[in-house]
Amino acid sequence: MTQYIGILTAGGDSPGLNAAIRGVGKAGMNAYGMHVIGFRDGFRGLMENRIVRLDSKELSGILTVGGTILGTSRDKPHKMPVGDKNLDMTSVIIDTYEKHHLDALVCLGGGGTQKNAYRLAQHGLNIVTLPKTIDNDVAMTDITFGFDTALTIATEAIDRLHSTAHSHHRIIVVEIMGHNAGWLALGAGIAGGADVILIPEIPYDVEKVAEAITQRSRSGKHFSIVAVSEGAMSQELAKRLNAAEENIAKAKDKAEKKKYKAELAEIEQERMQSTPVLTTQLEALTGLESRVTILGHVQRGGIPSAADRLLATRLGTACTHYIHENIFGVMVAVRGDDTEPVPLEQVVGKRKTVPPDHPWLDSTRNLGVSLGD
């Protein structure tokens, strides 16, 4: 019996999305005789019934293309912007799913997408997800596609910044993406030979960072590269953030909770400005000229690496196997050289962060690189 499957990409764009779409589409058609359609712009396109037929012609030539041919958005099924309101459009999405007689819906995305897909699974849709994000923070999988490409881009940026830092005897502070997980900054910092690496999992003491840089200067090394995750923060800011979160949990009524949530939002705004503030502080404490470089969305773009193309293709083809076997409500997780279907309830609401005993941290400390603690 022919199976009909839909596919969408949601959340931030990421290298390897097109490779995954191609993997699902081509394996579905060639190995199992499936009919495949795509929905444009994530869950919004699913709600609006905007489709594209993913035949051989549409899937041809997209393996090396960055971004996603389907487009993406961060809209949520249960909080969809419609006019000037946010409405629960789950029932409309279910209607679209049934209209196309779908046997499964494949959702490619990060933590938010996994959560939104899980909600649809709870409403009876046959869901399979693939873990995509440059942040590498999706729980229950060894790695996500998109991470390797972003890691390479960030490492190359640090490589290039070494020459200007050395020439001008400067401190170069480079902010690397990663949300609230330090995988990208840590990996790129090690691979790029950064002298200080600051990640969200280890709040930093700016005095100790400055001391590490000053010691380098005294030993004749008149420049330093500081790799900073966008979610990194000082120990003082971390204490305030933890206190605000505790106050929210202990709040006795809605008014009190609203007050503490407002405080938390202000702290998060400060956190977003931590890198420029850190750069100014380091210049004052060390007497060395300091400059900040924020890599931003350049880490998401361009041709996906060979590793990400391979990983996304593996996940895409494995996805069609699980659909063929009627295994639903799962994320296709990476397990070494193999894959494993993990129930979505084990994935949602979790974030994979750098554990304190991770070998990358051991290597960093053994190299004499400062982590700011």
What are the catalytic residues? 135
| Cα distance between residue 267 and residue 292, in whole Å | 21
DSSP, res 306: H
Handedness of CA 293, 65, 139, 191 (dihedral sign): negative
Q: Which helix (H) or strand (E) holds 225?
A: strand 224-229
Tell me how crowded residue 118 is: count the other CB atoms within 10 A of its CB.
Answer: 20
DSSP, res 39: E
Tell me how crowded residue 164 is: count the other CB atoms within 10 A of its CB.
Answer: 13
Strand 51-53 with 171-176, pairing:
unpaired
Tell me how crowded residue 297 is: count the other CB atoms within 10 A of its CB.
Answer: 11
DSSP 105-157: EEEEESHHHHHHHHHHHHTT--EEEEEB-TT---TTSS--BTHHHHHHHHHHH
- Amino acid 189 reads G
| Cα distance between residue 135 and residue 38, in whole Å | 25
